[in-house]
């Protein structure tokens, strides 16, 4: 069996997070990242591969991809059930200390989401085949766990629409969770976030998504960047957030 060397590059999209924005603002970005894999073993690799997550193209309504370039050309491009693309390189035969330098460049436009219509009473008509995977549990999004189901029912008690339920879950997450970067809290998943009440943005997103899915609201975790102003210049900050799906609106960002 070949040994796997996975490197995850989360550049699925950019979302502009301008609090209080009342108009759509579109900006263009070029994302470029270099990843270096080196054979640190004392011998030539007899087997193995490198796999890098590329994300998706035109994944959401507030981002539009112009191009995605991966250099050198991957041996294969694979895709998972969520549509995420992976660049695959066969590392068999790499010499001791040999390096594989991979460059990923992406150009896209991104804008704020704006709607003038009230959506406070919005519910989905039904769960479609396309959205079914976004109400199911998955690794570190344990929406079928009894503790998460119990908490979701408690938070949304007496609420009748998906939007109101999602809003109540948002308030719960952001008033009970504490941001913490220590190893014991970060990157542990939804159930750990529920029990520990702390974590990084990934925990905030995953506990939110798990609670929504427990209420059969299509929800998903998105990895990418947010834009912040530093010294009067735009800076891209690694970020993870959630989206929910509402009929007639599509996927909406939940920051």
**Run means of pLDDT, 10 residues per run, the chain, 255 residues:** 37 32 64 91 93 86 87 95 92 95 91 66 84 94 97 96 94 94 85 93 96 97 82 80 89 85
User: What is the pLDDT at residue 116?
Assistant: 64
Q: What is the pLDDT of residue 161?
A: 92
What is the pLDDT at residue 154?
98
pLDDT of residue 120: 66
Cα distance between the two ends of the chain: 41
The Cβ of residue 196 has, within 10 Å, a number of other Cβ atoms equal to 16
pLDDT value of position 117? 64
Distances in whole angstroms, Cα of residue 89 to Cα of each of 15, 16, 56, 71, 97? 30, 33, 19, 11, 17
pTM across the whole model: 0.79
Distances (CA, A) of 57 to 62, 67, 75, 220, 234: 12, 8, 20, 16, 23
Q: What per-residue confidence (pLDDT) applies to 248?
A: 81
Alpha-carbon span 80 to 86, nearest angstrom: 8
- Rounded to whole angstroms, the Cα distance separating 175 from 61 reads 28
- The CA R_g of the chain, rounded to the nearest whole Å, is 20
Report the distance separating Cα 171 and Cα 126, nearest Å. Answer: 25
């Amino acid at each position: 069996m070949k040994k796997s060397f996975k490197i995850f590059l989360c550049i699925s999209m950019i979302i502009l997070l301008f609090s209080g924005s009342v108009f759509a603002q579109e900006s263009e970005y070029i994302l470029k990242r270099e990843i270096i894999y080196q054979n640190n073993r004392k011998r030539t690799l007899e087997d193995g591969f490198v796999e890098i997550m590329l994300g998706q193209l035109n994944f959401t309504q507030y981002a539009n991809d112009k191009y995605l370039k991966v250099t050198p050309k991957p041996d294969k491009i694979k895709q998972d059930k969520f549509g995420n693309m992976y660049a695959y390189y066969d590392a068999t035969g790499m010499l001791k200390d040999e390096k594989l330098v991979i460059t990923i460049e992406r150009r896209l436009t991104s804008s704020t989401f704006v709607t003038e219509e009230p959506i406070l009473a919005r519910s989905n008509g039904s769960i479609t085949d396309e959205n079914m995977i976004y109400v199911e549990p998955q690794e570190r999004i344990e929406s079928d766990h009894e503790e998460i189901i119990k908490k979701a029912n408690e938070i949304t008690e007496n609420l009748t629409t998906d939007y109101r339920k999602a809003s109540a879950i948002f308030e719960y997450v952001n008033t009970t969770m504490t941001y913490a970067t220590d190893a014991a809290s970060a990157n542990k998943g939804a159930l750990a976030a529920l029990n520990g009440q702390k974590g990084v943005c990934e925990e905030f997103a995953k506990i939110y998504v798990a609670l929504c899915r427990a209420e059969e609201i299509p929800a998903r975790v998105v990895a990418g960047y947010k834009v912040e102003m530093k010294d009067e210049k735009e800076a891209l900050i690694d970020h993870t957030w959630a989206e929910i799906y509402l009929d007639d609106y599509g996927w909406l960002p939940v920051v």
